[in-house]
A and B are shown apart, each in its own frame.
Chain A
Amino acid sequence: MSTLTGRQKAGWAVITVLVLVYALFPVAAIAATSFKRPSELNQGTFLPQSPTTANYEQILVGGAQELFLSALRNSIGISLIATAVAVVLATLAAYAIARLDFPGKRLVLTTALGVSIFPVISIVTPLFNLWRSIGLYDTWLGLIIPYLSLTLPISIWTLAAFFRQIPWELEQAAQVDGATSWQAFRKAIVPLAAPGVFTTALIAFFIAWNDFVYGISLTSTEAARPVPAALAFFTGASQFEEPTGSISAAAVVVTVPVVVLVLLFQRQIVSGLTQGAVKG
């Protein structure tokens, strides 16, 4: 593989371009739309003729500011809390699954599998009804709890897979070398486990960040409505104007962090997704 012939090089160049176009073209399309003026939208062109940042001003400092920024705050806060809770619970569970022998270990993993294939919409109706009667409707907590059904199972699977690969003997080795058990844990195990925990958190966050069903069903105002749901409720600058521009701008704003995270942690995300899936 180290020496490629000219033809192979050309082949790989073509393949790479194809993959890049596949992966990035829709993102480029919505980014291009976000810089168009309302009058240019129906021109049928891909690129804006005279790019404008008006759509970004509209959502960040203009009329749609309240709607978008509160949704952004809700999305970040709710997704982070749901991720943190899931990762803490999953770390404990995965440690037990990887290191201890206890009856019901299989049950825990099978339950995680079952929950992860659960049709989200099936529990929306009962939650909607229940949340309204106990006052959790349209609150952060009212979304964080169901989000755990999304973030917890995958966290358990991914972390269990990571933890199974840790050479736990290192801990004993460190203790033999005179470290206290806390030191052994902190110096030998934490550095090995931390990347797995981090990767898991990243994947869980993506999933929570992506949610739409819970977001539109269990919220009604800016108090808790997350970004994906808010995008569906955007309105134009005036009631005669389509919100195309501001939705595109908002879509770009929430996509940039995703792209940055993917760029920074591509290797970790791939290993997390594939390990949790197959090697286990």
Chain B
Amino acid sequence: MTAASTPAGVGAPGSGKPSGQPGRTAQEERAHRARGGPRQDAERSDRARAEARLGWYLAGPAFVVMLAVTAYPILQAVYESLFRFRLTAPDEREFVGLENYATVLSDRVWWADLGVTAFITLVTVLVELVLGFALALVMHRAVTQLRGLLRTAILVPYGIITVVSAFAWFYAFDINSGFVNSWFSWVPGIDEDLNWFAGQGTSLVVIIASEIWKTTPFISLLLLAGLAQVPTELEEAAEVDGATWWQRLRRVVIPNMKAAIMVAVLFRALDAFRIFDNVFIMTNGANGTEVLSLLAYRTSIGRLEIGLGSAISVLLFVCVIAICFVAIKLFKVDLAGARGEK
């Protein structure tokens, strides 16, 4: 969604482990100064303190802004989720404890939406992993003259607004304005009268297609960066030993970029779990296509149920944390390792 959001609004994986040239230089400097003897100890700690202060002067504003725009609102949401509160009846605000959570979790809608969201996440991530890996291999192997063209083409979906992608796919499949039905009427199950957006399964096909089209470039770029880290000597050695292309891929390339794959999958899964734009534009949640983000939106912004909406927001946040936790603990997604800092 963003965010690609993704975005989509997606940052980069890794840990804050200082490394690279400046870090090393600092370490060398410290070692150098340490050799200077005890007389320089005081000076060193003064300098270290000054450096720490400067570091926080520079990084502090960004840090504070990040907390202010996320941590503060989520705490506010936690607080508001404890009240029965509708904007249409502001005087009836009343503390109800965890009642809102009970209401949400005992509602079939929440579980149905969770199911749809999980399904979309699972399918898009699996398809994107295969498709993105293929695209990454193509970009990695392409001769220089083609590389620019291929990368440019692949970046087009990345840069396009998700809502635009949603409309493009919607109009292509729509029973009135679309051409897909007449183009593919030879496919069993598709004919001129097929209304894709009248049923859950067919709606989800188009929603997922748009999501995959728009976000595969992102995952393929992450995988491309992973491919670049596979030592070429290993691949060449395997080739000399007579390994087939498929064997090299399975035994050499993929194991060597496992960390990059895991990180790419985690990031895309978190992004797909927040899916909103495509569903909003294409079906607005009709016919069993509602996702959790849409439920939160409909409750707070649509029905002005701030208390209930806040509870859903908090639960959604907890889901994202849970996915992260499972990925890091269970699948051992190594954020630091993925950045070549083993």
Chain A residue numbers with a CB within 8 Å of B152 are: 262-263, 266
CA distance A276 to B13 in the complex (A): 8
Provide the main secondary structure of the chain B interface: helix
- Residue in contact with A126 in the complex, picked from B25, B52, B77, B316, CB distance below 8 Å: B77
Residues of A in contact (CB 8 Å), total 116
CA distance A269 to B54 in the complex (A): 31
Max count, chain B CB within 10 A of own CB: residue among A119, A152, A258, A259: A119
Is B258 interfacial (CB-CB < 8 Å)? no
When the two chains form the complex, which single residue of A2, A27, A108 contacts B16, counting CB atoms closer than 8 Å? A108
Residue A113 at the chain B interface, CB threshold 8 Å: yes
Query: Is the pair A255, B74 in contact by a Cβ cutoff of 8 Å?
Result: no
Q: A276-B11, A280-B14 are in contact. List 12 more A-B contacts (CB 8 A).
A: A22-B213, A23-B154, A29-B172, A93-B63, A108-B16, A119-B317, A121-B297, A125-B310, A126-B77, A213-B277, A258-B161, A262-B158
- Please measure, in the bound complex, the distance between the C-alpha atom of A231 and the C-alpha atom of B282, giving whole angstroms: 12
- Min CB–CB distance A53 → chain B (angstroms): 18
Are A258 and B159 interface neighbours, CB within 8 A?
A: yes
A170 and B19 CA atoms in complex are apart in Å by: 19
The CA of A76 and the CA of B226, in the complex, are separated in Å by 34
User: Is A98 part of the binding interface, using a Cβ–Cβ cutoff of 8 Å?
Assistant: yes
At the interface, yes or no: B169 with Cβ under 8 Å from chain A?
Answer: yes
Instruction: Kindly state the separation between the CA atoms of A125 and B120 in the bound complex, as whole angstroms.
Output: 24
Interface stretch of the complex, out of A59-67, A161-169, A179-187: A161-169
Report yes or no: B151 in contact with A266, Cβ–Cβ below 8 A: yes
Q: Count of chain B residues with Cβ under 8 Å from any Cβ of A? A: 126
The minimal Cβ–Cβ distance linking A144 to chain B, given in whole angstroms, is 10
Cα A278 to Cα B164 with chains together (Å): 29
Q: From the candidates B8, B280, B341, name the one contacting A207 in the complex (CB within 8 A).
A: B8
Q: Give B148-176 as 1s and 0s: 1 = Cβ < 8 Å from A's Cβ atoms.
A: 11111111111111111101110110001
3 interchain residue pairs of minimum CB distance: A116-B11, A102-B55, A106-B16
Q: Indicate whether A92 sits within 8 Å of B61 (C-beta atoms), given known contacts A154-B11, A211-B3.
A: yes
